[in-house]
Amino acid sequence: MKRLCALFLTALFLTACAPKTDPGSGSQSGSQSPSASSSSSQGETMEPAMALSDLGVTLENYPRINGSTSTLGMVQAVYEGAGGSMKDESYPWEPLRTVPSYEALIDGELDLILVPYASPAVREQARQAGVELEYSQVAAEALIFITPKDNTASNITGDQVREIYLHNGISNWSELGGPDRGLVPICRNADSGSQSQMDNLILDGQAMDPSIQENYVELTMEGMLEQVAYYHSGGMFDQPTNTYALGYTLFNYLEDMDHFTGIGSELKILDYEGVAATAQSIADGSYPLSDGYYAVLRADLPQDHPARAVVRWLRSQTGQEELLHRGFLPVYMAQLPPQDTEQAARREVERYYENYTDWQLGDVELVKREDPSITFRATVTLEDGQTQEQEILLESTMRGWSVVYSIPLEQESAN
């Protein structure tokens, strides 16, 4: 079974950021994102639990929402919060991606996007279009640098990253304290969220070395992880090389993919400027490349528009718990109630049967709790009307309860 994150929720001290307008409009300057450049909202109080329906948002007036590959879970959480289901034809399965989402918002084709902070190029595009963008941080995130697990290098600095990606000027890992092996820098496509973070936090919009963009560009987030992990082994051609790849991605995305595929066991996250990237260091801002995910609106959107209600919901207790459950680090992490209670586990059982099965959940009985796991016995009505007793095991992780398995306990019996 996959290793589970053992961090305690109470160890995270992230504070929230109030809505900020685009630096291009004159309210801020430089390439810093709102979370990095503003501390005036520390101490904000998270709004209480609320349903989207309480705010007047339903599928009937559902706003036009899209976002990045890495924020697809957020978009899905909003859709489900408005009463939608995975079984719906309109369920959001495909993200538009970061830059196309910003472009659609600027062009008035979307009402709300959930994305990393905009790159300098996107901010300039908005300025030229006369569009002011409004940012509300909903989760913490960070840019991280990755290499294969067997690489003995452990740290990288901003100057080294710039020398590598702007000039292709470091060709051997020995210059970074690693082995005598070639350094192969992998980059992302220009319209990706990872690349936006790279531009914002390190490159400041400067163009990458053309030879890297021409020869080592990866078009998907998952592909970046696989390229970095296996490039030296020869990939599909099975021709090993005396190299290790260097790449970059987003912390939460890697954690999420590792949960499903185990790719994290093949990779090493390099420290940046001597600071390790962990959930705690990202949440408290001590990791230098900490940033966030934002709900972004056009500032001219009417105040009573449903999209503004969605932003409020995402920053409420209900929305923040949904984001936590889906693997994100909420901005109000320190204010969330404990997520390892029996009540929270029962809610996760209900969510599991509603979203991932066609069965009707009946009585749920606690069998035992042995931290970090809890076991229930549930009566389930199957599609054909038969009932079945099932055992459901959940484990507590940083993101709350997660279903490990559900198995039948006895033969089906007629109603």
CATH number for the domain that contains residue 380: 3.10.450
Q: Are residues 82 and 168 in the same domain?
A: no
**Domain assignment of residue 395, given as a range:** 342-408
CATH number for the domain that contains residue 309: 3.40.190.10
Q: Are residues 57 and 29 in the same domain?
A: yes
Q: Are residues 127 and 42 in the same domain?
A: yes
Any domain includes 367: yes
**DSSP state, residue 206:** P
Q: Which residue has the higher pLDDT, 151 or 193?
A: 151
Return all residues near 82 (Cβ < 8 A) that are at least 6 apart: 52, 53, 57, 58, 59, 62
Any domain includes 13: yes
Q: Are residues 176 and 78 in the same domain?
A: no
Q: Are residues 268 and 149 in the same domain?
A: yes
Residue-wise pLDDT tens digits, 94-106: 999 999 999 999 9
Three-class DSSP category at 92 = coil
Q: Are residues 128 and 39 in the same domain?
A: yes
Return all residues near 50 (Cβ < 8 A) that are at least 6 apart: 313, 316, 317, 318
Residue 301 has pLDDT above 60, yes or no: yes
Residue-wise pLDDT tens digits, 368-395: 999 999 999 999 999 999 999 999 999 9
Element (H, E) at 267: strand 267-272
- Other Cβ atoms less than 10 A from the Cβ of 283: the count is 25
> Among residues 335, 356, 372, which one ends one of the domains?
335
Any domain includes 285: no
Any domain includes 283: no
Q: Are residues 34 and 118 in the same domain?
A: yes
Q: Are residues 313 and 360 in the same domain?
A: no
In whole angstroms, give the CA distance from residue 194 to residue 191. Answer: 9
pTM greater than 0.85: no
Q: Are residues 86 and 170 in the same domain?
A: no
Any domain includes 160: yes
Number of domains in the chain: 3
In one-letter notation, the amino acid at residue 1 is M
Any domain includes 82: yes
Any domain includes 282: no
Least confident among 5-9, 30-34, 43-47: 5-9
**Nearest in space to 116 (alpha carbons), one of 64, 194, 188:** 194
Element (H, E) at 257: helix 251-261
**Nearest in space to 70 (alpha carbons), one of 114, 134, 4:** 114
Q: Are residues 191 and 267 in the same domain?
A: yes
Q: Are residues 255 and 327 in the same domain?
A: no
Any domain includes 135: yes
Torsion of CA 114, 115, 117, 122, to 10 degrees: -100
Q: Which residue has the higher pLDDT, 266 or 326?
A: 266
Query: Over the chain, what is the mean pLDDT?
Result: 87
